[in-house]
Amino acid sequence: MRNEGFGAPSGRGRRDGKVASAFAASAPTSRGIKMSDRNRGVESFVPALATLARQQLEAMLTAGEEILECYRVLRKGGLNVVGEVLRGQGTFYEMNHYPDGDVFDPDSHAQYYYHAHPDSPYEHGHFHTFVRSGGMPADIEPVAYDGETEWPRGEDALAHLVAISMDPQGYPLGLFAVNRWVTGDTWYAGGDVIRLAERFEIDHAYPSWPTNRWITAMLKLFYPQIVALLRHRDRVIEGWSHAHPDVDVFEDRNLEVTGSLPANVEHQIEALRRALAA
């Protein structure tokens, strides 16, 4: 099935050859308990724009304007950020990484990929973002862990930052944080991951210069939401661990998405302009 919405020569299907249905535009959710049961209160973790330094607000606004510029040039060609990573990749199979081999910046050690989950009725797919060990300050270490699962260590260590949920037209729906097993990363404290998110940058043109500029700017524009999701993530993990003491919380398949927030670029830009004018 050709994915007409992205203008890319990639169909959408499963590995068994069955064609999957299109995703509806909505916020991401999780298997297991309802998202509302643990997403409650995540908004309270979002720092008010008025509490941020003017320099931070200006940097966020610049990132928002960068995103709008990426949209402008892509629209002129009938393109969008998701179609750019799917272009030339063949059939779009659920759970496969796009582009093949992921996208990695050897200077910043930032990394991302796009994929979709089977039978999700909520989104087309989402981007996962990371920083690998080479981009981490020397004082950042994984949390203590005495479970049986082997985490990536040394040069293979990587921290998942945030995921960006996308609608069928190739625009962001929201941001969400996940448990460790979802991406198989190394687990770092939320405060350390917030520091790493500030270092995320993809500064090259593969697979798409506009998409790489866009995803870099997204992590800057929505900095307060990312801070909230990561702090809330740690709270959820702690609470889940206390409630299920006999289960390895980081490997519990009943805990997938720890929290989500909407990501409306235009609304965020408007809020920033109001904050800077106050």
Cα–Cα separations (whole angstroms), residue 172 to 104, 124, 142, 175, 244: 21, 10, 30, 8, 34
pLDDT at 33 over 60: no
CB 92 within 8 A of CB 11: yes
107 located within any domain: yes
User: How many structural domains comprise the chain?
Assistant: 1
188 located within any domain: yes
Give the domain extent around 236. 53-277
42 located within any domain: no
Q: What is the pTM of this model?
A: 0.88
10 located within any domain: no
101 located within any domain: yes
Higher-confidence position of 138 and 18: 138
3 located within any domain: no
Per-residue pLDDT band for 41 (boundaries 50, 70, 90) equals confident
pLDDT at 278: 93
Average pLDDT in the chain: 88
Burial (0-12, 13-18, 19+ Cβ within 10 Å), 16: exposed
pLDDT at 31: 34
Name the nearest CA neighbour of 263 among 233, 231, 228: 228
40 located within any domain: no
pLDDT at 119: 75
pLDDT at 37: 55
44 located within any domain: no
The angle at the Cα of 229, spanning 114 to 173, to the nearest 5 degrees, equals: 45
Per-residue pLDDT band for 121 (boundaries 50, 70, 90) equals confident
pLDDT at 28 over 80: no
Q: Give me 35's structure tokens.
A: 């998202």
CB 186 within 8 A of CB 218: no
